[in-house]
């Protein structure tokens, strides 16, 4: 059993030599029909802080997903009275990992770009939630 484990580790080392850096690139594009998008993205150990993404622009960052605490990245998005929180990159999820992960934020929610193309008929992966503020009753 020990020989099998050592052989598997040797194969992994040969396939991914430590001398080669691996980076993931994540894009969140604002394709809303109106307004600016506020995005606050972070991983376990890195906070990108809240940023305004103008209509037609993107938030982009590059990181080493093998670094401690960066295997998962999530974003909180806000526009007017709508909010959206979701994982934008997860090394354990085959759909949202790899060297390029692109999200397009539209009026109906956030769409994951597959194969460089977001079909017009695609369904939003993450839907907006409307925040209703109730009057203070004190």
- Candidate CATH numbers 3.40.630.30, 2.60.40.1180, 2.60.40.10, 3.10.20.30; the one for domain 20-130: 2.60.40.10
Q: 57, exposed or middle or buried, with CB in 10 Å at 0-12, 13-18, 19+?
A: middle
- Domain extents for the chain? 20-130
**Res 74: pLDDT:** 93
**Res 120: pLDDT:** 46
Q: How confident is residue 19, by pLDDT bands cut at 50, 70 and 90?
A: very low
Supply the pTM of this predicted model: 0.72
Tens digits of per-residue pLDDT, 53-88?
999 999 999 888 877 666 889 999 999 889 999 999
Q: 134, exposed or middle or buried, with CB in 10 Å at 0-12, 13-18, 19+?
A: exposed
Residue-averaged pLDDT of the chain: 78
Tens digits of per-residue pLDDT, 22-50?
788 999 999 999 879 999 999 888 898 99
Mean pLDDT of 106-122: 71
């Amino acid at each position: 059993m020990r020989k099998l484990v050592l052989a598997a580790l040797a194969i992994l080392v040969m396939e991914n030599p430590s001398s080669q850096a691996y980076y993931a690139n994540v894009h969140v594009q604002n394709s809303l029909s109106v307004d600016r998008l506020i995005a606050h993205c972070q991983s376990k150990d890195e906070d990108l802080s809240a940023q305004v993404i103008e209509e037609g622009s993107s938030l982009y960052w590059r990181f080493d997903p093998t670094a401690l605490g960066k295997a998962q990245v999530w974003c909180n998005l806000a526009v007017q009275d709508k909010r959206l929180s979701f994982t934008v990159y997860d090394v354990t999820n085959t759909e949202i990992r790899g060297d390029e992960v692109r999200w397009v934020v539209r009026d109906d929610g956030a769409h994951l770009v597959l194969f460089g193309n977001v079909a017009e008929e695609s369904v939003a992966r993450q839907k907006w939630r409307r925040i209703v503020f109730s009057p203070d009753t004190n």
